[in-house]
Amino acid sequence: MEAEQRYRRILRIKDKHYVALFLAPAIAALILLTIYPMLYSLKISFFNWNLTVPGSQNQFVGLQNYAEILKHGEFWHSLWITICFTFFSVLFCMVIGTSLAFLMFQNLKGASIVRTFVISAMVIAPIIVGTAWRLMYNPGWGLINYFLSVAGIGGRPFLAQASTVLPALIVVDVWEWSPLVMVIVLAGLQGLSPEVYESARVDGASRWQTFIHITLPLLKPALLLSLLIRTMDAFRTFDTIYAMTGGGPGRSSENLNILMYNTAFEYFQVSKAASMALLSLIVITVICTLIFRVFRRNEGEAQ
């Protein structure tokens, strides 16, 4: 008996070693690609590193970069654009993606072909998506303005006007990433037990009651996951916007990522760009924490 317990103990120790061995590459990649750059950005944010001034990376300035950023209106303007873009993009992505998931779940004829066609949008590189939509938005010979002119509506320079550039960018982002929400929600729907619906049907629940009291509560994990992923992804959008407008016209589409890029590689102020990146990280962390708490609170009230 003691020999058997000792053998099991040895196996558990070996299992732990195997687990550590398999996790080691992932942990190393996480440290090298995520944690180290973040710590390095934190370090240089306390210095006055300007690529045009030799030796400036050794000039310690403390919190001066953060103070200057928070005083200037450029940061707050870009933050407001980022929040507006993220809010409306995530909102429409959640609505359209969830609707598509319920539609695909009905196993309609040709649903697999439609699903493949819809999912193909999110596998295209964002820089290609941005370039293609910039051509379609072209006021002279773009496809969108052509259809508008055929419908009797005059074409508009969507990307050249401050009043239309942000909605135009949101449309592109929703088109590209609604399929991601659809895939996550569809996976959640396929994991629901049919026995629950049979019990509700026996109890005389209507389709609307079943949807409100059974489907939505059971889909909360999938909805929360898709909401968090989409929020973080929309907040850090760069490729598509840079390919379509570069932050213009003027600064009407310059979100935080475009501002950070321009600060680092146009004005060569690396330390200020690093400070903006860390402030951006704090903002998105707060937003995701609030979303998670709202879901947890609603779940607690429902119980």
pLDDT at 3: 54
pTM over 0.85: yes
Least confident of 38-47, 136-145, 232-241: 136-145
Least confident of 7-16, 49-58, 236-245: 7-16
pLDDT at 166: 95
Q: Is the pLDDT of residue 11 over 50?
A: no
CA distance 41 to 277: 8
Q: Select from 277, 178, 169 the least CA-distant residue to 227.
A: 178
Instruction: Write down the domain spans for the chain.
Output: 75-302
26-48 pLDDT, tens digit per residue, is: 878 877 888 888 889 999 999 99
CATH dotted code for 75-302: 1.10.3720.10
Mean pLDDT along residues 94-106? 90
* Burial environment of residue 168 by CB neighbours within 10 A (0 to 12, 13 to 18, 19 or more): buried
Please say whether the beta carbons of 288 and 234 come within 8 A: no
193-236 pLDDT, tens digit per residue, is: 778 777 877 777 777 887 887 888 888 889 999 999 999 999 99
